Amino acid sequence: MGGEPDREPGLGVGAVARRLGLAAATLRTWDRRYGMGPSGRSPGGHRRYTPEDVARLEAMQRLILEGAPPGEAALAARNEPPGAPRRPRGHGAGGNRVPVGEPPAGADAAEVRGLARAAMSLDVPAMVEAIRSAIARGGVVRAWDGLMVPVLAGIGRKHAVGGECVEVEHLLSTVVLGCLAEVPTPEQPLNVRPVVLACAPEEQHSLPLYALAAALAQAGVAASLLGARVPPDALAAAIRRTGPGAVFVWSQTAATGDPGWLAGLPGTRPMVRLLAGGPGWRQDRLPDSVRFVTSLSQAVTEILNGPAAP
Ligand code: B12
């Protein structure tokens, strides 16, 4: 387990951190500040968390999620007999768990739960660690579909049910955006003409564009990301000035999905390839010239291999 021999009894800090969806640094702080460290020892003399230590940490985490300050949570968790029944929570049908549901095939359920817990604990280092390592292991497309989307969708459901978790949604969005933006742009891009990515007018859900920019970067394509709420005139100006090979427009919500304005975008010579994606679009009203895509991987493939490929 992460370099900690499983022959040794008890768990090391890394294993417990993964289990709770916290950063190892958070556990070390809880040890130092609140005396919530490991009470066991391995034969080799290393400090190890016993099952009782882990139960106390889980209780402390639960109490923090319920709103207790960490010091009080530690005190109460130490006094709570192991295996004590959990107190009912005051609000929301699902308490403080994220209803992430069944992760998609190929996704690592433990990893999804870990990120969800880290998000609910507002534990930025643990969120960053989970997302960075998923991107490093499987690439952007897998990390997006298998880890980030299930947790984002779970938070979205929770918000829809009880209006809760706005702070979690905002912080997770910031972290996801930061991790995707870290993916380096190719030094010698395959594309000569730019690829422009934009949200529909008034559309604030820009994360899918960051996922697309990062996935394209890993495929060797550099993209210009215009971000959220791009007015039609601004997109038209960008097209006229840069003569892109492809333009991708995202609409997440029905309020931004009327595509009437797309037909007014300037054509360039050679032709600009116009792609649209997202659940917001009124697909029946999309102009014939617009190609509609239904997944991140399809968007990447279309941009890489379409008739007007960069
Ligand atoms: C993060 C988030 C926000 C953040 C966005 C931050 C950012 N920079 O993007 C903030 C806080 C700003 C926000 C604001 C709002 N939000 Co919001 N938000 C979300 C959340 C949690 C994730 C959004 C996301 O990135 N989704 C990406 C994936 C998870 O979405 P998906 O569509 O399921 O993706 C799949 C397909 O679309 C497909 N796909 C097809 N083609 C392509 C192409 C590409 C390139 C990609 C990547 C994928 C793809 O593959 C995807 C899987 O990869 C969703 C929950 C959800 N289920 O999406 C709510 C959600 C989208 N928001 C919602 C709402 C209502 C709002 C607000 C109106 C709230 C408010 N009252 O202010 C505002 C909207 C403001 C506006 N005008 O846009 C609703 C929308 C309901 C609806 N059907 O219209 C949702 C569904 C939450 C809910 N259940 O109620 N939100």
Lowest mean pLDDT among 31-45, 125-139, 141-155, 204-218: 31-45
What DSSP designation does 200 have? P
Q: Which of 9 and 211 is assigned the larger pLDDT?
A: 211
What is d(CA 305, CA 286) in angstroms, rounded to the nearest whole number? 22
- What's the CA angle centered on 77, arms 99 and 71, to 5 degrees? 100
Domains of the chain by range and CATH? 13-79 (1.10.1660.10), 109-181 (1.10.1240.10), 195-305 (3.40.50.280)
Q: Is the CB of 173 under 6 A from ligand 1?
A: yes
Band of pLDDT at residue 43, cut at 50, 70 and 90: confident
Return the residue whose CA atom lies nearest to atom 33 of ligand 1. 153
Nearest C-alpha to atom 5 of ligand 1 is from which residue?
205
Residues 200-226 have a mean pLDDT of: 97
Which amino acid residue places its CA nearest to atom 59 of ligand 1?
156
At residue 92 the predicted structure's pLDDT band, cuts being 50, 70 and 90, is very low
Burial class (CB in 10 A: 0-12, 13-18, 19+), 134: buried
137: pLDDT strictly greater than 80: yes
Residue 26 pLDDT > 70, yes or no?
A: yes
**10 Cβ inside 6 Å of ligand 1:** no
Beta carbon of 130 within 6 Å of any ligand 1 atom: no
Q: Between these two residues, 2 and 204, which has the higher pLDDT value?
A: 204
Helix, strand, or coil here: 23? coil
Cβ-proximal residues to 127 (8 Å cutoff; 6+ apart), any chain: 115, 118, 119, 171, 172, 175
The predicted pLDDT at position 105 comes to 65
Question: What type of residue is 283?
Answer: Q
The mean pLDDT value of the chain amounts to 86
Mean pLDDT, residues 97-121 taken together? 79
**Using a 6 Å cutoff on CB, does residue 279 contact ligand 1?**
yes
Question: Which residue minimizes the CA distance to atom 20 of ligand 1?
Answer: 156
Atom of ligand 1 nearest to the CA of 254: 84
What are the backbone dihedrals phi and psi of residue 150, each rounded to the nearest 5 degrees, phi first? -60, -35
Residue 274's nearest CA partner among 174, 195, 177 is 195
Which range is least confidently modeled, 149-163, 225-239, 273-287?
149-163
Closest by Cα among 236, 218, 226 to 304: 218
Would the CB of 170 count as within 6 Å of ligand 1? yes
| Type of residue numbered 302 | E
Quote the percentage of the chain above a pLDDT of 70: 85
What's the pLDDT at 207?
98
What's the pLDDT band for 90 if we cut at 50, 70, 90?
very low
For a ligand 1 pocket test, name from 205, 209, 297, 304 the mutation site with the most ligand atoms within 8 angstroms of its C-beta.
205
Residue 7 has pLDDT above 80, yes or no: no
Distance 158 CA to ligand 1 centre (A): 13
> Phi/psi of residue 188, each to 5°?
-125, 85
Q: Supply the DSSP symbol for 49.
A: B
pLDDT (average), residues 70-80: 83
Which amino acid makes up residue 233?
D
Among 26-35, 45-54, 58-67, 135-144, the least confident range: 58-67
For ligand 1, is residue 277 a contact (CB within 6 Å)? yes
Q: Using alpha carbons, list the distances in angstroms from residue 201 to 3, 246, 260.
A: 49, 18, 12
What's the pLDDT tens digit per position in 265-287?
987 666 789 999 999 999 999 99
Mutation pick for ligand 1 pocket among 250, 252, 292, 297 (CB with most ligand atoms within 8 Å): 252
- In this structure, are strands 290-293 and 273-277 parallel, antiparallel, or unpaired? parallel
Residue 101: the pLDDT is 59
CA atoms within 13 A on the CB side of 39: 11
Question: Is the confidence at residue 96, as pLDDT, over 70?
Answer: no
| Helical axes 51-65 vs 24-34, angle rounded to 10° | 90
Residue nearest to atom 72 of ligand 1 (CA): 204
